[in-house]
Amino acid sequence: MNQLSLQSLFMVNEVEIIYRNPAPYQDRIQIRQSSTAYEVLRTMWDLNRMELVEQFKILLLDQNNHCLAVSDIATGGISSCLADPKVIFATALKARATSLILAHNHPSGNLTPSEPDKVLTRKLKDGGKLLDIAVLDHLIVTPHNYLSFADDGLMPG
């Protein structure tokens, strides 16, 4: 083995995972119902963009459904947004989340879930089972209202 090949064996990147949550446990909001999740999301959403482009966010929750954080996953165009499961679960793992609430907006104001919305929800629910991260709900939000997959019986089994 030549010197160049030997050196390349030792040229690898190191990954460091760090997690800090400045909010004391007792100050974290507990999400017990979809209306609370919607209110948290509305306060964190840029309302100037909600009716302009589709965006995908997740609520990261601990084992007692206390909200650890809201994370922006993706921003798309007028009618779609690509939410990458790898980014969603990497974020959840880094934040030590034990459950998630998915959320995206429909700029049109139509709260009816599309077939791709349902397929993504099923895919993420199945992925969460492998990682022991529960996907509790998927909200479609607008500035004035929301639809909850869980409340409407649309969450996959």
Share above pLDDT 70 across residues of the chain, in percent, rounded to a whole number: 91
Look at residue 15 and tell me whether its pLDDT is greater than 80: no
Q: Is the dihedral of CA 118, 128, 58, 28 positive or negative?
A: positive
Instruction: Answer yes or no: is 50 within a domain.
Output: yes
Alpha helices in the chain (DSSP H): 3-9, 34-44, 47-50, 85-94, 115-131
Could you list the residue range(s) of the whole structural domain that residue 124 is in?
29-148
Q: Is 6 within a domain?
A: no
21 falls within a domain:
no
Residue 103 lies in a domain: yes
Count: domains in the chain: 1
The answer to whether residue 2 sits within a structural domain is no
CATH of the domain at 131: 3.40.140.10
68 touches 96 (CB < 8 A): yes
Examine residue 92 and state whether it is found in any structural domain, yes or no: yes
Alpha-carbon distance of 124 to 133, in angstroms, equals: 10
Residue 112 within any structural domain of the chain: yes
Higher pLDDT, residue 8 or 132: 132
In the prediction, which pLDDT does 10 show? 65
Q: Is residue 144 part of a domain?
A: yes
